[in-house]
Amino acid sequence: MIFRSIVYFLIVCALQYWWGEHFRFFGLSLDFAFMACVSSVSLFSPVHSLVFSFFLGFFSDFSSWGHFGLYCLSYTLISYSLISLRSRADFSSGFSRSILFFSFFYLNILFYSLFYFAIYKNWFFSWKDFIVAPFLNLLFFWLFYEISDRYLSVKKCL
């Protein structure tokens, strides 16, 4: 189980790096790490998902040029929030999953921007990240989740 989640983690990291290097639309790239973070809440057990999200944040910190540790914190918080919402939200429905993904994507950007602003007195994200990026990532999230669920899911938790 752990081995499969490690393989899944490596595939997501490689996809995030490769896609970011070769395919950029309007200066934006898909955030596969965030997609995997949200997907892991329904694919893995709660503790497993939390640790998985933390390491995804760790990789995102390495691949971005922001303050190291901010993505670790934000992904951990988002993962814990989604785990807490599992009893109240319908994770089996694609529509509710998409709404949750969209909402938490904005929360992630806002949290990161505010924290970064508090440290550096400068905005890390541009208007494109606030307006275009959530919709762009939402378009691909459904496909990403289906692939993860069908071929890479380690354990489904109720």
Partner 1 sequence: MRDGNSSLKYVFFLLVLLSFVFIILPLSSLVTSVKLAFSYSLNPHIFFIRKYENKLFSLPKNIKDLIEADLKHRDFEENKKRFETQFSRFEAIKQENDRLRKILSLSENMSRKGTFAFVVSRTPVSGYSGFFIDKGKKDGIAEGFTVLGFCSGGFYLAGRISEVYEKYSKAVSIVNQDFSFIAYGGKDSAEGLCRGKENEGLILDYVPSKFEFLIGDKIYTSLSSLTFPGGIPVGSVSDVLKKDSAMNFYQVKIKPYCDFEKMKEVYVQEYYSPLSSGENQ
| Contact set with partner 1 (CB under 8 A) | 17-18, 21-22, 46-47, 50-51, 54, 57, 61-62, 67-70, 72-73, 76-77, 80, 83
**Which among 22, 20, 59 is positioned nearest to 37, based on CA atoms?**
59
**Chain centroid, CA 90 distance in Å:** 18
CB of 54 to partner 1, least distance (A): 5
CB of 102 to partner 1, least distance (A): 24
What stretch of H or E contains 104?
Answer: helix 94-120
Alpha-carbon span 139 to 133, nearest angstrom: 10
Alpha-carbon span 123 to 102, nearest angstrom: 21
**Closer residue to partner 1, CB minimum distance, 62 or 106:** 62
Whether 19 contacts 136, CB under 8 Å: no
CB of 41 to partner 1, least distance (A): 12
**Closer residue to partner 1, CB minimum distance, 19 or 125:** 19
**Closer residue to partner 1, CB minimum distance, 84 or 103:** 84
**Closer residue to partner 1, CB minimum distance, 102 or 116:** 116
Whether 8 contacts 154, CB under 8 Å: yes
CB of 67 to partner 1, least distance (A): 6
**Chain centroid, CA 8 distance in Å:** 14
**Closer residue to partner 1, CB minimum distance, 8 or 71:** 71
CB of 127 to partner 1, least distance (A): 26
Alpha-carbon span 156 to 135, nearest angstrom: 27
